């Protein structure tokens, strides 16, 4: 890990990443990253130091971890975090609280179209604005052909988003049997994507 800019060096940092299914619960990766962050002067909250008993239940660990996460200014994600139920929940909490999000070397970022923040109306507006912008950039003016292509592109994006969040929502419900903060977030974004699809279809019919 390279030294962080000054803007990333203030406050407390919480490390999030996968544990379940990893050798030694992935503790070596947590400890190595914690050491690298501490070397540059950061105060680090390392879940591997909070939950040292490997026999502790998942919910017990998460309660202890999130209690520490909410005291931090930044969440730092390890490789594999996006496939970890616990790390996804921590990322959701951190994002909702406005914490800075940074990635360890090799950690995956969330695809932009799957991490939209805002209301369903804002979601619709964003993609409709993309349609207009695409037409303007192509100097299309009132050209229906270019506008229709832009509608199709926007629809494809929205449909991909809707399918992704619907799949994640179903998987989460099947795994847990109840709604969690993560499944609720997927549900909201699925509904936003569906509203986006309907709005673009209406716009396409109106302009066609």
Concatenating the DSSP letter of every residue in 95-144 gives HHTT-EEEE-TTPPPPPGGG---S-HHHHHHHHHHHHHHHHHHTT-TT-H
Domain boundaries, the chain: 6-110, 113-207
- Gap between the Cα atoms of 178 and 115, Å rounded: 22
How much is the pLDDT for 138?
46
pLDDT-above-90 percentage for the chain: 26
Calculate mean pLDDT across residues 99-115. 73
Query: What's the token pair of residue 16?
Result: 């999030």
Half-sphere exposure of 145 (CA within 13 A, CB side): 3
How much is the pLDDT for 70?
93
**Domain formed by 6-110, architecture:** 3-Layer(aba) Sandwich (3.40)
Calculate mean pLDDT across residues 23-34. 95
The whole-model pTM stands at 0.54
Q: What is the mean pLDDT of the chain?
A: 75
């Amino acid at each position: 890990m390279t030294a962080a800019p000054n803007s990333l060096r203030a406050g407390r940092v919480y490390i999030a990443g996968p544990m379940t299914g990893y050798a030694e619960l992935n503790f070596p990766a947590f400890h190595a990253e914690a050491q690298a962050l501490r070397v540059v002067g950061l105060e680090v909250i390392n879940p591997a130091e909070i939950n040292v008993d490997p026999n502790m239940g998942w919910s017990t660990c998460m309660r202890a971890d999130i209690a520490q996460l909410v005291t931090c200014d930044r969440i730092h994600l390890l490789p594999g975090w996006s496939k970890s139920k616990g790390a996804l929940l921590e990322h959701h909490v951190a994002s909702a609280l406005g914490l800075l999000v940074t990635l360890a070397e090799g950690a995956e970022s969330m695809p932009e179209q799957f991490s939209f923040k805002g209301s369903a109306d804002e979601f619709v507006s964003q993609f409709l604005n993309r349609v207009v912008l695409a037409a303007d950039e192509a100097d299309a003016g009132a050209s229906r052909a270019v506008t229709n292509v832009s509608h199709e592109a926007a629809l494809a994006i929205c449909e991909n988003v809707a399918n992704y969040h619907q799949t994640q929502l179903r998987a989460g419900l099947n795994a847990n049997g109840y709604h969690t903060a993560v499944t609720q977030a997927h549900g909201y974004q699925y509904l936003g994507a569906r509203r986006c699809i309907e709005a673009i279809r209406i716009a396409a019919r109106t302009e066609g």
